[in-house]
């Protein structure tokens, strides 16, 4: 059958509050045209982020009840540990409360003044944690990864030649680790090929450097490998995932993405000495090793979520539904970062509203137009977010230091298992309406903004 259906039935529903255009106009003004300041109940379709916004399964909710809340040695920890071991092959596994907690522990141990950390593209919290340790973060995406129109199948890849050059120029002794983000979130949710991971591994081996994965979307990445990489079609996603992890010495994971939970994270390591340091820091700042700042029930939900995310019918639906939104927008004449990524579509707001100059924040203007027209909440990733230094994006955005040419983007992130095709069709209709009167969309000016992370709290007015 050509139609790829949602591979689940809906057992529990959460009502969406319908609002009128007039009501939304009022909410928009009350929120000073900043969608972070709008109450979630006043949003019809919330595409702000795919982080921690997914729907858990019946089996995950059952796990919540089964959660063992013992301080030490809880059964839930062992179920979490065994699942992660089964999927990744790692023996040293720590739970953390979310991805950035894993990053903070990793870079407190391995980062520091004078060090340099290469990555295909650092995610914002990763960048912030590398810099917080005193180290310098360097992004090394392939050339095609910087070109929004390139349809390269693995636009998330690292430039291996640039990596070799960086190591030679910097000296391997100043590089504590090499990192690969799968999928490359800040590069548009684009995948990294197995061939590229192997090539990076080979460079690391030659220089005696450890390779870590930022593996938030490891399953989505493995699905792209199965679909697009030569010779991978007959392997299971689980096998591909296992090879990805076999190629590295450690990983940080935010379970709020492919872990299919609302809160949680993981830190994986092979080196026992490093693991001991991480363990001590975890106990100091997160919690004891068998819960890491989480409840037993959270570990239970993760153990189940990491299993469900590897189901190929789920991944087929997941990646297809994101592509569906992207391809339809392209047909409509809306320019996006091509090809569609795994978890989000990035709309080129600069191209949509060429009459709005960058200093009048075209991304913010489009985000407001989408909300006003149909109650759709998207995320600006452009001059508001990156117009000042020290921009971060705790909502899981794109950009960051040398992430490519400055673009005025609007990200539509798709929460996992939350919206059906008719919700996405509705979003497309909202876009159609916005397109009709795009010439009348007005630019924005900032009325009030904090020095850092201004996208969360800045107040705007229409120009
Ligand atoms: C979300 C994300 C993180 C940070 O995880 P949190 O759970 O939000 O702290 C790190 N790296 C990537 C690629 C992410 O998408």
What is the per-residue pLDDT for 187?
A: 81
Chain Cα centroid distance, residue 18: 29
Closest-lying ligand 1 atom to the alpha carbon of residue 51:
1
Give distance in angstroms: CA of 231 to centre of ligand 1: 30
Q: Choose the residue to mutate in 124, 396, 403 for probing ligand 1, maximizing ligand atoms within 8 Å of C-beta.
A: 396
Contacts of 423 (CB under 8 A, 6+ apart): 45
Class of domain 58-308: alpha beta
Does residue 51 line the site of ligand 1, with CB under 6 A?
yes
Cis peptide bond N-terminal to 16, omega within 30:
no
pLDDT tens per residue, the chain (463 residues)? 888 999 999 999 999 999 999 999 999 999 999 999 999 999 999 999 999 999 999 999 999 999 999 999 999 999 999 999 999 999 999 999 999 999 999 999 999 999 999 999 999 899 999 999 999 999 999 999 989 999 999 999 999 999 999 999 999 999 999 999 999 988 889 999 999 999 999 999 999 999 999 999 999 999 999 999 999 999 999 999 999 999 999 999 999 999 999 999 999 999 999 999 999 999 999 999 999 999 999 999 999 999 999 999 999 999 999 999 999 999 999 999 999 999 999 999 999 999 999 999 999 999 999 999 999 999 999 889 877 543 334 333 444 443 444 789 999 999 999 999 999 999 999 999 999 999 999 999 999 998 877 888 999 999 9
Determine the pLDDT at residue 395: 37
Residue with CA nearest ligand 1 atom 3: 99
Establish whether residue 123 lines the binding site of ligand 1, counting it when its CB lies within 6 angstroms of any ligand atom. Answer: yes
Q: Which ligand 1 atom is at minimum distance from the Cα of 256? A: 7
- The pLDDT of residue 283: 97
Going by alpha carbons, the residue nearest to atom 12 of ligand 1 is 123
Place of tokens 């010779």: 231
Q: Can you tell me which atom of ligand 1 is nearest the CA of 186?
A: 13
Ligand 1 lined by 102 (C-beta under 6 Å): no
Minimum CA distance residue for ligand 1 atom 5? 99
Nearest CA to ligand 1 atom 6: 99
C-alpha distances in angstroms, 12 versus 27, 32, 56, 305? 28, 34, 10, 18
Partners of 347 in the β-ladder: 336, 410
126 pocket-lining for ligand 1 (C-beta < 6 Å): yes
The verdict on the CB of residue 88 being under 6 Å from ligand 1 is no
185 lines ligand 1 (CB under 6 A): yes
264 lines ligand 1 (CB under 6 A): no
**Ligand 1 contact, 221 CB (< 6 A):** no
**Record: fold of 21-50+311-462:** 3.90.1150
For the whole prediction, is pTM greater than 0.85? yes
Of 462, 349, 463, 422, nearest to 33 by C-alpha is 462
Query: Where are the chain's structural domains?
Result: 21-50+311-462, 58-308
CA 152 to ligand 1 centroid distance, Å: 24
């Amino acid at each position: 059958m050509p139609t790829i259906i949602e591979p689940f039935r809906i057992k529990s529903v959460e009502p969406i509050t319908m609002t009128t255009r007039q009501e939304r106009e009022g909410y928009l003004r009350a929120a000073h045209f900043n969608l972070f300041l709008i109450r979630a109940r006043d949003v019809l379709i919330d595409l702000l982020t795919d982080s921690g916004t997914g729907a858990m399964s019946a089996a995950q909710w059952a796990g919540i009840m089964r959660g063992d809340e013992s301080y030490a040695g809880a059964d839930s920890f062992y179920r979490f540990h065994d699942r992660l071991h089964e999927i990744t092959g790692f023996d040293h596994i720590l739970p953390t409360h979310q991805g950035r907690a894993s990053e903070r522990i990793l870079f407190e141990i391995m980062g520091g003044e004078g060090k340099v950390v290469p990555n295909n593209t650092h995610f914002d919290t990763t960048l912030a944690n590398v810099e917080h340790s005193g180290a310098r973060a360097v992004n090394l995406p392939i050339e095609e990864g910087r070109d929004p129109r390139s349809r390269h199948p693995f636009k998330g890849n690292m430039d291996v030649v640039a990596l070799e050059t960086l190591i030679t120029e910097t000296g391997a002794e100043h590089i504590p680790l090499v990192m690969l983000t799968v999928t490359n979130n800040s590069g548009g949710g684009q995948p990294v090929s197995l061939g590229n991971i192997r090539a990076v591994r080979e460079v690391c081996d030659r220089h005696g450097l450890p390779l870590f994965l930022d593996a938030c979307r490891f399953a989505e990445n493995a699905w792209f490998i199965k679909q697009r990489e030569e010779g991978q079609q007959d392997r299971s996603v689980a096998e591909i995932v296992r090879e990805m992890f076999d190629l590295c010495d450690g990983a940080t994971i935010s379970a709020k993405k492919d872990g299919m939970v609302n809160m949680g994270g993981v830190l994986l390591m092979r080196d026992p000495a490093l693991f001991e340091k991480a363990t001590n820091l975890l106990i100091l700042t997160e919690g004891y090793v068998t819960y890491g700042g989480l409840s037993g029930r959270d570990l239970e939900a993760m153990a189940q979520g990491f299993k469900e995310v590897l189901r190929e019918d789920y991944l087929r639906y997941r990646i297809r539904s994101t592509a569906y939104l992207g391809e339809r927008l392209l047909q409509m004449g809306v320019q996006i970062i091509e090809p569609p990524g795994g978890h989000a579509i990035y709309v080129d707001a600069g191209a949509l509203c060429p009459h709005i100059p960058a200093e009048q924040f075209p991304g913010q203007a489009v985000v407001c137009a989408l909300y006003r027209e149909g109650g759709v909440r998207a995320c600006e990733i452009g001059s508001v977010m990156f117009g000042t230094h020290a921009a971060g994006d705790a909502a899981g955005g794109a950009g960051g230091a040398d992430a490519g040419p400055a673009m005025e983007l609007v990200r539509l992130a798709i929460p996992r298992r939350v919206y059906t095709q008719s919700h996405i069709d509705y979003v497309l209709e909202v876009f159609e309406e916005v397109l009709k009167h795009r010439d009348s969309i007005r630019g924005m000016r900032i009325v009030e903004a904090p020095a850092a992370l201004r996208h969360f709290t800045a107040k705007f007015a229409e120009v």
